[in-house]
Amino acid sequence: MRNIIAICKRELLSFFVSPIAYFVITGFTLLVGFFFFNYFSLFLRMYQMSAYLSMRGMPLPNLNQTIIEGVYQTMIVILVFLVPLLTMRIVAEDKRRGTFELLLTSPVSVFEIVMGKFLSLAVIIFAMLSISFIFPLLLIVYGAPEVPPILSGFVGVLLCTLGFASIGMAVSSFTENQIVAGVSSMVTLLLLYVIQAPAESLDGTVADVLRYLSPVDQVQDFVRGVVTLKATVYFVSMITLGLFLSQRALDALRWR
Amino acid sequence: MIEVKNLCKSYGDYKAVIDVSFSAAKGDIVGFLGPNGAGKTTTIRMLSTYLPPTSGTATVAGYDVIAQADEVRRRIGYLPENPPLYGEMTVREYLKFVGEIKGVARAQLASRIDEVLERCFIKDVRNKLCQHLSRGYRQRVGLAQAIIHHPQVIILDEPTSGLDPRQIIEIRQLIKSLGQDHTVLLSTHILPEVSMVCNKVVIISRGRVVMESRLSDLTRDKSLEQVFLESVSHDEVVDAAACVNQGA
Ligand SMILES: Nc1ncnc2c1ncn2[C@@H]1O[C@H](COP(=O)(O)OP(=O)(O)OP(=O)(O)O)[C@@H](O)[C@H]1O
Ligand SMILES: [Mg+2]
């Protein structure tokens, strides 16, 4: 445990002296803020037209559905592009500058290296998402949304981001080139994000599987306030898979 | 302390280390000598558990480098060819991190750091970022990192490369003092360094050990230079001569 914490602390120190983490966190907050106010004005617009909508038998705008769902789903898209920037250096940089030789010849296990590094990513991600939580919080303070879906949605986005980070770390473990790691994880995550697209034209089991594989539907469960076993299993599996692949990649290095 | 038997390492088809055997007892300072590309770094990486051997065995501090790698890792201090520094950390932060992962007890960590800062002459750069250090200072921080946890066996890959003449003398003295309660294996291609620091020499050329001897046995009838030149093959004489003429 001490090794995991030592490695995590070291990675956090690197995050805070390098500009990347600041840029990513600032960029994420700005983008989420932008979309938040977009969805907010959309909601106002719909609200003003609500008399007209109800006359035609259409549903009234709902604060949760319009703003919260929109913002949370948009976060996932932004994260597909930003998480790789956080994860690309996490292992690749160690390999390039030779500090890997220090780690691998020290009495720390590959598991501890992987967990220490992942923990540092989790801390950064939690901080980043918490800052953006200001926007839903504004709604809670000044409006009257349903609060439980806002909280469960946050958990869903957090789990999804951790899944992305663990995939990104696995990709970073397979190369010593940060740019290669960044681009490959972006492509991988984007592919994962759109994987349900062919399901539109397919049916049967294949379509179901593709829909299950996409994080969009899984996050939607959480955002709607229903914490389903299916979605939880999905995210936990994604995180585990990433950690497992990282572990395998580094194990292979130790016994090359 | 170090027992190497028939160690081999191939990179694909290329045999970098062939049938290397030698040993070092407690308190020995072994000079691992050879021209460029002889296989010093490759051998050292196998002994430090970084690379697995293709065949053969090696025990370090009584443990097998493959089967009991973790026990070996607990007992060695290792300075790789390129000092493994984290540029964005200060020297002090870096040494604290290494101390933690090497298992130095929390209560002793601060005093261990102060001790190695003193011993490796890096006290005045302790708050500098590693990326701002000169080559020689990087080398010394790398050395400090290797001895912070009082390892039984210290493995140094070219510890004096990049140092200025005065630093070389200081570091050689430091290594000599380490020999009192550690076993040291250091690689070098500088011949005079071996006679100044070591009590045992292993010469490797083209992946093979060509000579293993105590220094006291050697200098009686022949100088180290003569032996070295005789033991490396003919087309390497130019390389070998360079080794003889180098050094402070
Ligand atoms: N990863 C690798 N892949 C392929 N060949 C390698 C690799 N590492 C080393 N070699 C080769 O193995 C041989 C021995 O290399 P090694 O680094 O052990 O030499 P050395 O004795 O440390 O030399 P130097 O004095 O220059 O440091 C060299 O011919 C080198 O080209
Ligand atoms: Mg070398």
- Ligand 1 atom closest to the CA of B44, numbered from 1: 18
Residue among A79, A15, A7, A19 nearest A250 (CA): A7
In tens, the pLDDT along B5-27 reads: 999 999 988 999 999 999 999 88
The total number of structural domains that make up chain B = 1
Q: Kindly indicate whether the ipTM for this predicted assembly is greater than 0.85, answering yes or no.
A: yes
B161: closest CA of chain A, how far (Å): 17
Give this prediction's pTM: 0.90
Please report the residues numbered 63 through 102 in chain B whose beta carbons come closer than 8 angstroms to any beta carbon of chain A: 70, 73-74, 76, 78, 80, 82, 84-89, 93, 97-98, 100-102
Ligand 2 geometric centre to CA of B40 (Å): 5
Q: Answer yes or no: is pLDDT of A256 > 50.
A: no
Neighbours of A251 (CB within 10 A): 15
Which residues of chain B have a CB within 8 Å of the CB of A14? 86, 88-89
CA neighbours closer than 13 Å in the CB half-sphere of residue B102? 26
Question: Is the model's pLDDT at A3 over the cut of 90?
Answer: yes
Ligand 1 atom at shortest distance from the alpha carbon of B11: 4
Question: Residue B155 carries which DSSP code?
Answer: E
Torsions phi, psi for A208 (to 5 deg):
-65, -45
> Is some CB atom of chain B closer than 8 A to the CB atom of A16?
no
Q: Name the residue range of residue B132's domain.
A: 11-244
Q: What is the CA radius of gyration of chain B?
A: 18
How high does pLDDT run on average in chain A? 90
Does residue B113 lie within any of the structural domains? Answer: yes
Q: What is the pLDDT of residues B87-114, one digit of tens each?
A: 999 999 999 999 999 999 999 999 999 9
CB of A251 less than 8 A from some CB of B: no
Question: Which ligand places an atom closest to the C-alpha of B12?
Answer: 1
Q: Give the pLDDT score at B248.
A: 41
With CB atoms and an 8 Å threshold, state whether A102 touches B84. yes
> Residues A244, A250, A252, B2: is their CA dihedral positive or negative?
negative
Q: What is the pLDDT of residues B171-227, one digit of tens each?
A: 888 898 888 888 999 998 888 888 888 999 999 988 888 888 888 777 666 667 777
Q: Are A117 and A202 in contact (CB under 8 A)?
A: no
User: What is the predicted pLDDT for the residue at B151?
Assistant: 94
Residue B221 Cα distances to A50, B32, B196, B217, B224, angstroms: 106, 21, 18, 8, 10
Q: Report long-range pairs for B243-248 (Cβ below 8 Å, ≥24 apart).
A: B243/B33, B243/B35, B243/B189, B243/B190, B243/B191, B244/B191, B246/B189, B246/B190, B246/B191, B246/B192, B247/B190, B247/B191, B247/B192, B247/B193, B248/B165, B248/B168, B248/B169, B248/B192
* Domain membership flag for residue B219: yes
Question: What value does the mean pLDDT of chain B take?
Answer: 88
| Ligand 1 atom showing the smallest separation from residue B40 Cα | 21
Q: Count of CB contacts below 8 A, A vs B?
A: 65
Is position B3 within any domain?
A: no
Residue B1 lies in a domain: no
Q: B170: CA distance to ligand 2 center in Å?
A: 22
- Go through B94-130 and write b for each residue having 16 or more CB atoms within 10 A of its CB, e for each that does not: bbbbbbbbbebeeeebeebbeebbebbbbeebbeebb
Q: What is the CATH number of the domain that holds B72?
A: 3.40.50.300
